[in-house]
Structure formats: C-alpha cells, structure tokens
Amino acid sequence: MTNLEQTARPARSHAPKVDILETDTGLRLWADLPGVDERSVEVELVDGVLAIRGNVSTEEYENLAPLHTEYGVGNFDARFRLSSAIDGERIRATLRNGVLQLELPKVESAKPRRIEVG
C-alpha cells in the first residue's frame, strides 16, 4: 500500500474534495474543482509532496449576498505526501468538467510482479 498523508493547508484557502484510488500500477486522484479552468490550476511534486493549488474566481459573487453556498471560492490548496514508489516523471494531469484527474504511476520496482517458480 502506498503511504499517503494529507498535510495542513493555509487558513485563507479551502481544500477541494478529493478521491484517491490505488491500483497495481499506480494511484489515481480526482479533485472536484467546479468553475476552475486549467490555467488556474498548479500541480507540483516536490520532495515527495504532491501539491494542488489554484484559484476559483470570485467574480460571480461580487455584490451578492448568497443565502447558502457549498462551493469553495478563492484560493484552494491540497497537499499529499507520497511514497517514493511514485514515478514523478510520468505523472499526467487532465481537467474536464470541473474534475482534475491525476495519473500517478508507480516506479517499476514498486509494481507487483509474478515470479515464475522453476
């Protein structure tokens, strides 16, 4: 199992809702980012920490007094400590319909393998 730990985030931001699934070949991460375009998202892997940062525009909320809100607006930030089993050079990210999807492949040595018995 991959070591995955979410760390604290700055107080003036919100964390998107995130699902993470582990497969034999890597991790898949989905983050809900409604109203965000790909130019507003930054994904970075530094020293084993995966960071997802960006901004949700507050333009639509200017001069309004919302009665109820659940969508996060403004800055968002989520950080996850990954094991060294992730191949940082092969991470792929796509954003479609407000959902960020990351493919985080494992290094070959971390993948399960069948050993032939002779």
pLDDT score for 5? 54
How do residues 79-111 score in pLDDT, each as one tens digit?
A: 999 877 889 899 999 999 999 999 999 988 777
Q: Tell me the three state secondary structure of residue 40.
A: helix
> What would the CATH number be for the domain defined by 4-61+69-110?
2.60.40.790
pTM higher than 0.85: no
How do residues 32-67 score in pLDDT, each as one tens digit?
A: 998 888 898 999 998 889 999 988 777 777 787 777
Distance CA 48, CA 53 (A): 16
> DSSP for 53-97?
EEEE--GGGTT---S---S--EEEEEEEEE-TTB-GGG-EEEEET
Q: Which of 3-12, 19-28, 48-57 has the lowest mean pLDDT?
A: 3-12
